Amino acid sequence: MIEKMQRSRLDEQRCSLPATLKREEEYIPYPSIHEVLQRGWPYPLIILPQFGGYWIEGTSHSLPVSGPELQDLPSPCSGKVRLECDPTAKLYRKHFLGKEHQNFYANDSALGYLVLSVKYEQVEGQDNLHLLLRARTSTKHDLIPISCLTEFPNAVQMAKLLCEDVNVDRFFPVLYPKASQLIVAFDEHVISNNFKFGVIYQKFGQTTEEEVFSNTEESLGFLEFLDLLGDRIQLQDFRGFRGGLDVTRGQTGTESIYTNFRGKELMFHVSTMLPFTEGDAQQLQRKRHIGNDIVAIVFQDENTPFVPDMIASNFLHAYMVVQLHHNASGETLYKQQPLVYAHT
């Protein structure tokens, strides 16, 4: 039952963006990257594909020829960075696992399978019921003072305290000895501590995936940017998250970029660090890893346009295009623009 609930919730998560996030311009044929290059400098940071399919997040993404420095331009991200997470994912582990409690289940004709966890909890001398109800699309929880109840509720009534839409005759007790481990796995399946990202080095005027994947030399600006992303690690016998890279036989290169950010392990598939194969125009060894990532960073040394359909992939759904810039004082700045597949 838990497995069915997990499959249903994952299906619910595979949805298109709301219509408000899609752009009418998606359906307007844009000029090709070659037409834009022929018009001369300055170039936009990003060119949308000729027949749409992507949307650009933020404000201006073209660098002016003259005028204010980058810090004076409007920023699409004025607040602090916020990492989104499901606040209910670890409630069971924190408040129920290893403590005396009861689990119940039911099948609601409209809501699907339901799993209810109940625990008696005393807080500051007050008796409470700690309730946690999982449904196909969401998890609800509350700490309810027993003094607020006219009578001690049964499992159905407890579930209704959290969700009035519950419509079942009864809940059944969960008697399986390893139920708690299964419930923890279900609750925390949305949490990931390991992430992998592609990093593509695009030189000025490069317009095809064959060109960007054939780059073998790294500029000082690109090396400096990689240092910002993480540490340069030796892949041989590496013990951290490897992101699909070979750490025993050296078949995916000898080095990579890795970091641990707030307890999350990040491995970067850097195009110039993956093996280069002479005579292979497509550089499949490189594309095999970056083309199977969901998100890729595109680094540009100079003002040059990037168009997402230059890289053929069924998996790449988002790009962060980063362009190197130096202000009048010679400080290194980075201009960045997110680009997302419209149906992600």
Residues 6+ apart with CB under 8 A from 76: 57, 58, 59, 338
State the Cα–Cα distance between residues 196 and 293, nearest whole angstrom.
Answer: 7
pLDDT of residue 41: 77
- Across the beta sheet with 126-134, the strand order is 139-145, 126-134, 112-123, 102-108, 172-173
Average pLDDT (276-300) is 92
State the Cα–Cα distance between residues 310 and 318, nearest whole angstrom.
Answer: 13
Measure the N-to-C terminal CA separation of the chain; round to a whole number of Å: 28
Residues 6+ apart with CB under 8 A from 263: 193
pLDDT tens figures, 243-262 = 999 999 999 999 999 999 98
Q: 37, 71, 8, 54: which is closest to 318 by C-alpha?
A: 54
State the Cα–Cα distance between residues 270 and 296, nearest whole angstrom.
Answer: 10
Task: Read off the pTM.
Answer: 0.65
pLDDT at position 68 over 70: no
pLDDT category of residue 30 using cuts at 50, 70 and 90: low
Residues 6+ apart with CB under 8 A from 8: 112, 113, 136
Q: What is the mean pLDDT of the chain?
A: 84
Classify the phi-psi angles of 80: left when phi > 0, otherwise alpha if psi is within -120 to 50, otherwise beta: beta
pLDDT tens figures, 176-192 = 999 999 999 989 887 88
Ordered structural domains, the chain, with CATH: 33-57+192-341 (3.40.50.11210), 90-188 (3.30.1120.160)
pLDDT category of residue 2 using cuts at 50, 70 and 90: low
pLDDT of residue 51: 66
pLDDT of residue 321: 95
pLDDT tens figures, 85-125 = 667 889 999 999 999 999 999 999 999 999 999 999 999 89
Q: 188, 191, 338: which is closest to 264 by C-alpha?
A: 191
- The 3-class SS string of 75-104 reads CCCCCCCCCCCCCCCCHHHHHCCCCCCEEE
pLDDT tens figures, 261-276 = 988 999 999 999 999 9
